[in-house]
Every structure is written in C-alpha cells, then in structure tokens.
Amino acid sequence: MRKWLELSVFTSPEQLDNVAAIFHELGSGGVVIEDPALILDCLERGDPETVAPTLSVPPGGGTVVKGYFPWDDALPGRLETASRFFNALSLGWQTGEVYEEDWATAWQAYFKPVRVGARLVVKPTWEDYSAGPGEIVMEMDPGMAFGCGTHATTAMCLALLEEHLRGGETVYDVGTGSGILSVAAALLGAGRVLAVDIDELAVRAARENTARNGVAHKVTVLQGNLLDNLAGAKADLVVVNIIAGVLIGMAPEAAAALKPGGLLIASGVIRERAGEVRRALGNEDLDIVAEKKEGEWTAFVARR
C-alpha cells in the first residue's frame, strides 16, 4: 500500500494562483482545490445527482489547496521548501498521510454524476446513471489524478469543447490529468487526440479512462513536460486547463502548436490574472474570440 503526503494550504482566491504555482515548483503533478464558491453553488442548487450528501464548505469558508507527494527521500527537502514559500506568504498549512486505496474511496464520496454543457455528462464508474436523449456520458475514475468535471475550470473547458468542436479535428490536451478533456474531445468527434502530462499517475489514469470510454484508438497519452512532445506537429485545437503563470509561460509553444486558424482553449485563470493571460496570448498573435467566466475563474478561446 503506497503512502503519500497530503499538503493542505489555506488561502484566499487572490492567492490561489500563487499557491498552485508553488505546488507545481515542488513537483506535485496537480492540485485539488476545495472552492467554497463552487460548493455553495452546488448546495444551493440541491441537485442530488451532482451533490454528495457529505459535501460541505471548508472550515472558515476559505479556499483549501491540496497537493500530494510520494513518501520518499526527497520529502524532507520538499517540506523545507514548502515551509519557506508558504510562511513568506503568511499562509497556514498542514500535512497528513494518504494511501492510494484511501484516495479512491474518498473520491467515491464526493464525485457524483454531473451534467456539463448541453450534452456532456460526467459519470463516475461506481455510480448508476440513465442517459437521456442526446446525452454523451463519460465514465471517469480520477484515481490519484485530477480533473473530474466538477470544478469550474474543467467544466468551462468541457462546455467550450462541446461548442467549438465540429468533428475530425486534431486536438492536443496539455496537462491532461485524468484525461477527461481528451475523452470528451474524442466522444465529441475529434479525429485524433494527443494528451500530455508530466505526472506518471495522471498518464496511467488517462490511459485507463480513454480505454474505459472506448476512445483509446483515437487518444494517445504521453508522459512529458507540457508541449515538449508536440514539437513540429500542428493541431486544429489545443486545450490547456492549468494555472495562469504556467499558461503565460507556455503561450509561445501553444501558439506554435496550432495550425493557422486553429483554436486555443485556455482555462484555470484566476480573475485577477486574466488581463496578464490576455496580453500574453495577444503577444503570440492569438486573438481572443470568446471569454467565459464562472465565479473567480476565466476561460479564453483564442484563434491563431
């Protein structure tokens, strides 16, 4: 039974992007964000298909960001670095132990079928769901990866994929996590999908989820650093759901990966940094053609 360190940081929406960037620097393949605005919205809607009975707002109403690290010889150094970063930002944090088997069980308590956009439904493998007319149901098991369709950043990406995919496109999914966006793109008619993630667990989860949904013949999942695997190739659409700082840094590579007229769907942008992302995309001759907002989050659609 493999043991992991769970590092929880208590922050505000304004600091969220900085915290996520620090987790990235520490080597976490992704983060879990307990967003009270999202939870309150779900609770107010009261939809039993999307709200788990145990779902509650984090104590104090603040945002909690969690990252996970293997329990190995590098852990003391990571904790020392984390302490320096988070103490400098005057942020509270705590640690705990998590086992892979416990992780899977915890997800089962919080992850319920949820409808996103006009047709997409994200359904965990352990839940029953009867598809309605025209619905596209995705069977997902996030495992130790990230991205199950319930957070605003992922939900906006799914809705924008549904809106902009016409069929037959080549799609790149950068930072694929659980593979949810790649699965959605394939089910929505993309001809070929290339998914990339730096984290080994995410790659494993994405491959399992593409096979589970019958789209493994369309989706290739690679382990690597963001767009390094995409050098020289061109896509009709690139989708990136990641923090603003990383998105700004990778804007030149994202633009270079697109065919002329191709689209970039960029999400994970906290509201306070939306202007920076907009400028970074504009500097790469990526014209913003659509903008979507939900709570503290913004997603962009840009055309090369």
Per-residue pLDDT of the chain (304 residues; tens, 9 = 90+): 678 888 889 888 778 778 887 887 787 756 777 765 544 444 444 443 443 444 444 454 578 888 888 888 888 888 888 888 888 788 888 888 877 666 556 556 656 788 888 899 988 887 888 888 889 999 887 655 455 566 778 889 999 999 999 999 999 999 888 899 999 999 999 999 999 988 787 888 899 999 999 999 999 999 887 566 665 678 999 999 887 888 898 899 899 999 999 999 999 888 888 999 999 999 999 999 999 998 778 999 999 9
Domain ranges of the chain: 3-107, 111-303
Q: For residue 140, give the 3-state DSSP assignment.
A: strand
CATH label, 111-303, candidates 3.40.50.150, 3.40.50.720, 3.90.700.10, 3.40.1210.10: 3.40.50.150
Strands 63-70, 3-11: pairing kind: antiparallel
List the beta bridge partners of residue 266.
240, 300
pTM for the predicted model, two decimal places: 0.71
Strand positions, DSSP E, 35-131: 63-70, 92-99, 114-116, 120-124
Q: For position 185, what pLDDT does the model report?
A: 97
Tokens at residue 274, please? 């939306």
Does residue 192 contact residue 218 with C-beta atoms inside 8 Å?
A: yes
**Rounded distance between C-alpha atoms, residue 276 and residue 196, angstroms:** 25
CATH 3.30.70.120 fits 3-107, yes or no: yes
Q: For position 195, what pLDDT does the model report?
A: 93
Q: Helices (DSSP H) in the chain: which residue ranges?
A: 16-26, 36-45, 75-88, 100-110, 152-164, 180-187, 200-212, 244-256, 274-283
**Rounded distance between C-alpha atoms, residue 184 and residue 96, angstroms:** 33
Q: For position 226, what pLDDT does the model report?
A: 59
Q: For position 61, what pLDDT does the model report?
A: 52
Region of 115 on the Ramachandran plot (φ > 0 left; ψ -120 to 50 alpha; else beta): beta
Task: Supply the DSSP symbol for 85.
Answer: H
Q: Tell whether the torsion through CA atoms of 133, 139, 140 and 141 is positive or negative.
A: positive
Q: For position 55, what pLDDT does the model report?
A: 41
Question: How many other CB atoms sit within 10 Å of the CB of residue 44?
Answer: 9
